[in-house]
Amino acid sequence: MSRMRIATLSTTVLAAFAVGVGAPAVTSAHDSAEQSRPFNHCQRSFAGAVEDYRQTTFDKDADGFNDLLHDDVSAIFADGSTLLGKEATAGFIESFFADEEWTQTLDVVHTEVEGCRSGFVLFDSVYTPSPSSEGVPLAIGVTFTFERGEWLVLHNQDSDGPVS
């Protein structure tokens, strides 16, 4: 079994315990629909946060991108370099997005939402430093947390790609 599948299964099992496996069954369809609304809202708003992440990257909108960052955000790049905290990450983004030359694709491969607590997106990406450069394939995993009614990036992990 792949590491990704094991991690997904582990997360699913932990989430099941967190929401109370074995809790009394819901007694009516109306009650079930009412209880699922916050979760459905969180799934929809997570999809919007993923799109905001993509669009602010494509637009090189540093302010918009940095608004998506949690105060405790961390990033690990494919070369092993790291950024810890919003201030360091935002500073990197401001400088990185100021460069007009590069382009990057962000194709969504997989998303996972655990209620209104956490969400994960896996991107297959190609970073091209300049129009005359070869593209660099990356696998990018981004973990979000839901805080004060919004999805915020908690961790960004870049790895050599493409996603397999």
Sorted by where each starts, the structural domains of the chain and their CATH numbers stand as: 26-160 (3.10.450.50)
pLDDT digits (tens, 9 = 90+) for 79-132: 999 999 999 999 999 999 999 999 999 999 999 999 899 999 999 999 999 999
Query: What SS3 state is found at 73?
Result: strand
Please tell me the pTM assigned to this model.
Answer: 0.76
pLDDT digits (tens, 9 = 90+) for 118-128: 999 999 999 99
Q: What does the alpha-carbon distance between residue 3 and residue 14 come to, in Å, rounded to a whole number?
A: 16
- Residue 133's region, left for phi above 0, alpha for psi from -120 to 50, else beta, is beta
pLDDT digits (tens, 9 = 90+) for 2-27: 444 334 333 333 333 333 333 333 33
